[in-house]
Chains A and B, each alone.
Chain A
Amino acid sequence: MTTDATVKARNAASLGRVRRSAAVDATAVVIILAAAALLYVLFPGSLALFTRMVAIMMLALSLDLVTGFAGIATLGHAALFGAGAYAAGILASKFGFTDPFAMLGVGAVAGALAGIVSSVVILRGRGLGQLVLSIAIVQLAHEAANKLSAWTGGSDGLSGIAPAPIFGLYRFDLWGRTAFILAVALLVVVFVLLRVIIRSPFGMLCRGIKQDPVRVRAMGAPVYGTLVKLYAIAGAVAGLGGALSAVATKVVGLDSLSFTLSAEALVMLVLGGVGKLFGALIGTFVFIWFEHLVAAINPFHWLTIVGVMLIVVVLFEPRGLTGAAEALWTRARGGRR
C-alpha cells in the first residue's frame, strides 16, 4: 500500500535530487566560464590553443557518452569528429556557404550520420571484434579522405575555409578572440544539454545497458535501438567539435580523422575520469596543455610520459583526476559522503 504521505515524500525527494543536480550544473557552468575568462585575460596569445582544446573536449565528451555511459570501448571515435570537420570545411570551401552556424549545423548532422553508420558496424562485434571494427572504421575513413583529394585536399589538408562574421557582426580576428568566445559558448550549451540527457530516462537506460544488457532486454527495453540513438547523439557532439575546429583553424587535416586522435581522446578521457562528463573536460585540458609544453621539447619524451601516465592511472587511480579529487574532497570533509 502506498499512502498519500509516502508519495508526497517520494516526490519531494526526487524534486530535491533535481534541484541538487541543477545546482551542480550551474556551478559547473560558472566554473567553465570563470576558467575561460581567466585564460582569456592571462594568455591572450594562446587563444588558438584553447579553442582547439574546446574542440577536442567535444570529442572527449562524445567519447564519454559512448564509453562511459554505454560501456562501448572504441578506438575509432575520431571518425565522427573528422566527419564533422570535413563536412563543415567542404561546405565552406567547395559550396561557398560560409555562415559559421550553417557550418556548425552541417558538421553536427554529418557527425550524427557518421555516428549512426559506425554504430551499425561496431555493434556487430563483441569484445576484441568490436575494438577492431572501431579501428577499421577510422582507418577506412582516413584512407577514403586521403583518396578523395579532389574534395578533401588529401594529405595537404583542406584549405580555403573563410567563415563569415558571426551574425554578420563579429569577424574572426587574427588573435582568435571571436573563435574562442564562440567555442566557450558552444561548450557550455553542449555540456548542459548532455547533463540533461544523461539524467533523462534515456540516459538511465544507457547506463542500465552498460551494467547488464541481457536484463535490460528482458525488461522489454530496446538495447540495439538505444545504443544507435546514443551513437547519433555522440556523433552530433563530436561532429560539432570537428566543425568548430574547421571554423576556428580554417583548415581540416587528415589528422582529424586518425587512429592517433582516437587513441589520444581515449587517453584524455581516462586521465580525467570516465563517466562523469567533467572528466572529459579536465582530462582534455591537462593533456593538451602538457602536450603543448613537452612535445615542443621532444615528441618521444611526450609519448613516454603519456605511457607512464596511463599505466599509473590504471594501477592506482582508475577513476582518473576527477576521481582522485573527489576522494580528496571526501577525506577533507572527514570521510562523510
Chain B
Amino acid sequence: MQTVLSIAADAVAYGMVLFVISIGLSVTMGLMKVVNLAHGAFAMMGGYIAAFATHQLGVPFGVAIVAAVAGTVLAAIPVERVLYRPIYGAPELTQVLMTIGITFVIIGIANYAMGPSMKTIPLPTILEGPVDIGFRSIAAHKLFAVATGLVVAAAAWLVIERTAFGVKLRASVDNATMAAALGVRTKVVYAVSFAAAVGLAALGGVVGAQLLPIEPYYALRYMVTFLVVVSVGGAGSIPGALLACLLLGAVETTGRYLMPEFGEFFFYLAVIAIVCVFPHGLLGRRG
C-alpha cells in the first residue's frame, strides 16, 4: 500500500508537469492543425531563461518564472510570424521538417549560449524541504507542480468555456473557414493562442525543471513525450490532455519504480495500445 501511494504521488506530480507543458501544444494542434515538434524547445527556453535570471541576475524564483514566460513569448512571436505562418495548412511532412529544423537550431543556440552542462534553477526555501502529506513526505516542489497544473487546468477551462475569446477559439477549432466567414479574426486567435501555448510551455519548463532537467538535448528528449500526450489525449481536448498526462505519468512512474531495467518499454507499449484503439485520442474529435 505504501508503495502504491508513493508511486501515485510521484505519478501525479510528473503527470501535472507534463500537463502544464503539453496543454498549449494540444490546443494549438487542435486549432491550427500544425504538428509542432518545437514545443519542447520553447519549454527548454523558459527553463534556460529562469536559470540565467536566478544565477546571473540573482532575482527571486517568482520573478524568474515571470521573466521566463515573458521572454519565451517574446522570442516566439517572430518565430511564429516568419517560420510558422508558411506551414499552416501544409502537408504533415513539411510541418514535421520545419519544426524539427527549428528545434535543432534552438538546441544549437542553447548550447552555444549556455554550454552543454545541466542547468539548475534554485528553489526558494519554502519549496525546498519535504512536506508531510500523511502517508509519506513529498518534496514541496512536486506539490507546487501539482498545484500549478490544477491552476492551469482550471484557468484554461475558464478561458475556453466562459469567455468571448474562448467562444472564438472553439469556433475556429471546429471550422476555421466558417468562423472567419462569420467575422472571427482567426489570425488573431491563432497568434494569441500560439503565444499562450508557448508561455505555458515555458512555465512548465521552469516548474518541472526538477523532474525534467534543463540541458540542450531537453528539446529532443521530451519532444516525443509531449507529442505522445497530445495524440493519446486527442488534439484540442483539455480533459483529454489531463487524462492522458495522468495515465501516461502513472505508466511511466510505475515502470520506473517496479521495473527500472525496462526503461520506457511499457510507456511506448501503452502508447501503441491506446492509439491503436483510439486513433483520434481518448477524448479527441472526429472519433
Taking beta carbons and an 8 Å cutoff, which residues of A are in contact with B? 67, 73, 75, 121, 124-129, 131-133, 135-137, 139-140, 143-144, 146-147, 259, 263, 266-267, 270, 274, 300-301, 303-311, 313-315, 318
B227 contacts A132, C-beta separation under 8 Å: yes
A125 contacts B216, C-beta separation under 8 Å: no
Residue from B107, B111, B232, B275 within 8 A of A124 (CB atoms) = B275
B112 contacts A129, C-beta separation under 8 Å: no
Whether B35 sits at the interface, judged by CB under 8 Å, is yes
Chain A residue, CB-CB nearest to B286: A126
Of residues 17 to 56 in B, which have CB atoms within 8 Å of A's CB atoms? 29, 35
B101 contacts A129, C-beta separation under 8 Å: no
A309 to chain B, nearest CB (A): 7
The B interface, classified by DSSP as helix, strand, loop or mixed, is: helix
Size class of the contact patch on chain B: 35 or more
B156 to chain A, nearest CB (A): 20
The A interface, classified by DSSP as helix, strand, loop or mixed, is: helix
**Can you name 5 A-B pairs with beta carbons within 8 Å?**
A73-B96, A143-B268, A144-B265, A307-B103, A311-B101
**A-binding segment of B160-168, B187-195, B276-284:** B276-284
Of residues 49 to 100 in B, which have CB atoms within 8 Å of A's CB atoms? 83, 86-87, 91-94, 96-98, 100
Beyond the given A303-B105, A307-B105, could you list 5 further A-B residue pairs with CB under 8 A, ordered by the A residue number? A121-B276, A133-B276, A140-B268, A266-B97, A309-B101
- B226-242 vs A, CB cutoff 8 Å, 1 = contact: the mask equals 01101110010000000
On chain B, the residues within 8 Å of A127 by CB distance are 35, 92
B97 contacts A308, C-beta separation under 8 Å: no
Whether B130 sits at the interface, judged by CB under 8 Å, is no
- Docked Cα-Cα span, A131 to B281, in Å, equals 13
A143 to chain B, nearest CB (A): 4
- Docked Cα-Cα span, A234 to B33, in Å, equals 29
Residue from B93, B230, B235, B275 within 8 A of A136 (CB atoms) = B275
B149 to chain A, nearest CB (A): 22
B93 contacts A67, C-beta separation under 8 Å: yes
Residue from B92, B106, B216, B262 within 8 A of A147 (CB atoms) = B262
A228 to chain B, nearest CB (A): 15
A-B complex: 8 closest residue pairs judged by Cβ atoms: A304-B108, A307-B104, A310-B101, A307-B105, A143-B265, A300-B111, A132-B231, A311-B101
Chain A residue, CB-CB nearest to B36: A128
Chain A residue, CB-CB nearest to B221: A259
Whether B196 sits at the interface, judged by CB under 8 Å, is no
Residue from B264, B269, B280 within 8 A of A129 (CB atoms) = B280
Residue from A73, A147, A305, A310 within 8 A of B265 (CB atoms) = A147
- Docked Cα-Cα span, A135 to B96, in Å, equals 13
Chain B residue, CB-CB nearest to A124: B276
Chain B residue, CB-CB nearest to A68: B93
B275 contacts A132, C-beta separation under 8 Å: yes
Whether B147 sits at the interface, judged by CB under 8 Å, is no
- Docked Cα-Cα span, A3 to B252, in Å, equals 70
- Docked Cα-Cα span, A315 to B86, in Å, equals 8
Whether B272 sits at the interface, judged by CB under 8 Å, is yes
- Docked Cα-Cα span, A146 to B272, in Å, equals 19
Chain A residue, CB-CB nearest to B34: A128
Residue from B98, B272, B279 within 8 A of A314 (CB atoms) = B98
Highest count of chain A CB atoms <10 Å: which of B29, B93, B276, B279: B93
On chain A, the residues within 8 Å of B104 by CB distance are 303-304, 306-307, 310
Whether B129 sits at the interface, judged by CB under 8 Å, is no
Residue from A132, A143, A307 within 8 A of B101 (CB atoms) = A307
Indicate whether A129 sits within 8 Å of B231 (C-beta atoms), given known contacts A309-B101, A310-B101: yes
B214 to chain A, nearest CB (A): 16
Chain B residue, CB-CB nearest to A140: B268
Whether B261 sits at the interface, judged by CB under 8 Å, is yes
On chain A, the residues within 8 Å of B264 by CB distance are 139, 143
A270 contacts B231, C-beta separation under 8 Å: no
- Docked Cα-Cα span, A310 to B99, in Å, equals 9
On chain B, the residues within 8 Å of A310 by CB distance are 97-98, 100-101, 104
B275 contacts A139, C-beta separation under 8 Å: no
A152 to chain B, nearest CB (A): 14
- Docked Cα-Cα span, A67 to B96, in Å, equals 13
On chain A, the residues within 8 Å of B227 by CB distance are 128, 131-132, 135
